[in-house]
Chain A
Amino acid sequence: MKNVIQYLVVLIFFLLIGKETYSQCCSAGNPVSGDGQQKSIKKNSLRIYLSFKHSYSDQYYYKNKKEEVALIDNSRFDYSSLQLTYGINKKWNVQTELGYFFDKSQTVYIPEKYVFKGYGIGDLGITAKYQILSLVKPQSELVGSFGLKIPVGKLDEDMNGVVLPISLQPSTGAMKYNLGLYYSILNPSKKLSFYSFLYAEYSSLIQSDFYYYKYGNYYSFSVFGKYKLSNRIYTVLQLREELRDKDKRENDEKIESTGSKVLYAAPQILYNFYENWFLLGQADVPLYKYVNGHQLTNKYSFTFGVHKTLSLQKKSEV
């Protein structure tokens, strides 16, 4: 228990430091999805998670202060994704995720109102997870992961004869590589449990003849507290810090008004409505925002989802 407390203190420390590191509301590519549950699943089990996320951004920031920009009104997206996780054996899981932007838009006044509207398939995520440690007492688990995001969607979506800006394209156009570390501690006799997730993502250069662009590295640190309200209802409170380095353009020149640091509170409710079926609702509310230079920032987002874990084991094997 002492080790767990030390671990959580270190995570909270990471959440609170680093003022000069860096939020981007409207970056290209898939939004962070999933319900935060990165725990491993049993051999021959399949976890299916279908979700919908809406995000809305209308606040321009200069560093950590709001500012008015007359031209840009808002930026928003509606994104749905399907995540499949399969238990290959006791230690290894593989996870795939593919999503679709039903709407990825920006409203501007030039001075007349004009709406840029993109849509389409996002990037394909493939992640391998390995259970590094599993203890019975206290019931805890440490899972490491590494993965790829492959730009299978379009980067040349156009509207009225003009190719949309990169930030409104459904795909990032760049290969991304990520590492994750998940730790959970559960105590069945108590109603409260904790878990945390560290995540880092490195982006390669956009694969295009026309663009020379490299997204900044992305890091997130999350701590979760889960409370069992009743036999069927759970509440989760997540604190998440997202850090993004500056993007680069030609000659590896850093782009000043990119990169950010945002601290989010994400309350979540889970409802076990039938056997191993769960409904999920989550809101992401930024508590603190610091951006490099001037940037449009996220005002709020919310997610709805449903997940279920199936056992694919043949009855004779059980």
Chain B
Amino acid sequence: MNTPTLFFRILIASALLLSTGACTKFIDFEGEDSTPRLVVNGAFQPDSVFEIELSNSLGFIDISQIQPRTDGSVAVYDGNGSFVDSLTHIGDGRYRSNVTAAVGNTYTVRASSGAFGEVSATDYIPDIMPIDSWDTASAASSDPFFDNSGLDIFFTLSDPAGSENFYMVEVFESAGYYIDYVMDPSTGEFVQDTIYLDFGPQKLYLSTTDQVLLSEADGFADGGELYGETFFFSDRLFNGNIRRFQLRLDYYSGIANLEIRLTSASQSYWRYRRTIDRYDYSSGDPFSEPVQVFTNIEGGLGIWAGFSASSAVIEF
């Protein structure tokens, strides 16, 4: 049992002791009568069609199911306010256009549904930021059980000068192979063969001691090391410079391909994903500070934001 756990147990025991005379009662909740708002969720990237989900919010203690809005009217406009396309309902509150988004462009979404008034949001697609180069090195795992099975991944990024840029980096394990002895059904003998794995991209849990990533951390660092599946960072500390970043896999089997995915995000997309990440991390912890999830929908809730992604595949 680690120290925090022990402390919590003792604290809970103390709280129970103190609360022997405590009274619990249901009280009126002012949020009970909160007026539902239209919710728009849509993220767009280069060369992909616009797609959003339309629903409405409910009061926090309302136990009814949130229903998708299927009677909505959704349209996208460009940065000059010119009409781009009208989105068609394709089922379950999802609306899709036939037009694709382009890098560097700004788009505004306007949506309405039933008695809900029109809501809108505007955002842009930042330039794609390619991974200039990458390399790897074997590393000691922080878990002694894995011995020296860790892997350090390094990648280099050239940040453009004069603009504020926001990034997210993730590593996926996608496909791979290994060689093993398998029984030949025709002869019944064991022969060497290549076993291919294709399990779809799986996001990996990472750590880093990279100072830029640490400085942007939301406090999920431990002992000077940052842990997580997605690292969020801005160019605040290296604006206009080329920088080499370090990521670590605590355990890498060496039999699957790795994909480094670098997302160049608009500030809205970055803030949304970052706060959602934090929301999930602290969910269920009664002692953590509650998390506000970012929204940029005027008159409603949700997110309308752009991003572009680049990746590098490390094949083994």
Q: Do A and B bind each other?
A: no
Chain A contact residues, CB within 8 Å of chain B = none
Chain B contact residues, CB within 8 Å of chain A = none
